[in-house]
Amino acid sequence: MKNPIKLFKSIFKLEDNPEKIAKGFAMGSFIGMMPIPGFQVLVSLAFASLFKLNKKAACVAVFNTNLVTGLFIFSFNYWLGQKVLGIESGFAFPDKLDIHFVSTIFKAGSEVYLSLIVGGIITGIIYAIAAYFLLKNILTKRLKKEFSN
């Protein structure tokens, strides 16, 4: 697998409309917050194709949740979802993010998965909006700078 930093930097080398790249990245960022590790890239690719967004930007963005950050993000999303829904659960979050994560969450019950989804939607919306405007601004400035030289 490519270095995540190099993968992210590749976004700035894409030759596409800054709007399409930023929208693709924002959508992928949102999907990256959903509790479906291992399937996020496929879902992101499908939606990017459906909505005619930049596919590479969408697929790179889902790596906001990876083996390093995923456990923290999903734990936070779970906590947030519980607070919003008013759910009390004795579920202990897994110590590591691996291939069994999704089955562990499903086995924990619908309240746990619902908490993860609600928390993921909230953080996903916030992250997607921030990512969209930040990336669009950077790409637009970069494009203007290239044309002025």
- pLDDT single digits (tens) 7-51: 667 777 778 899 999 999 999 999 999 988 888 999 999 999 999
Check residue 99 and give its pLDDT. 74
| Residue keyed to tokens 């949740």 | 65
Task: Take residue 67 and report the two structure tokens written for it.
Answer: 């083996």
Dump pLDDT digits (tens) for 64-85. Answer: 888 788 889 999 999 999 999 9
Rounded CA gap, 146 and 137, in Å?
A: 14
b/e map 45-64, b = 16+ CB within 10 Å: bebbeeeebbbbbbbbbbbb
Q: Taking a C-beta distance cutoff of 8 angstroms, is the pair 87, 115 a contact?
A: yes
The number of distinct structural domains making up the chain is 1
Check residue 3 and give its pLDDT. 64
Rounded CA gap, 79 and 75, in Å?
A: 6
Indicate whether 2 pLDDT > 60: no
Dump pLDDT digits (tens) for 80-129. Answer: 999 999 998 888 888 877 777 778 888 888 899 999 999 999 999 999 99
Query: By residue range, what is the domain housing residue 144?
Result: 4-148
For 1, 11, 55, 64, 103, the CA distances from 5, given in Å and listed in that order, are 12, 10, 18, 11, 29
Check residue 5 and give its pLDDT. 66
Dump pLDDT digits (tens) for 82-91. Answer: 999 999 888 8
- pTM listed for this prediction: 0.87
Check residue 104 and give its pLDDT. 84
Average pLDDT over residues 46-64: 94
Check residue 132 and give its pLDDT. 98
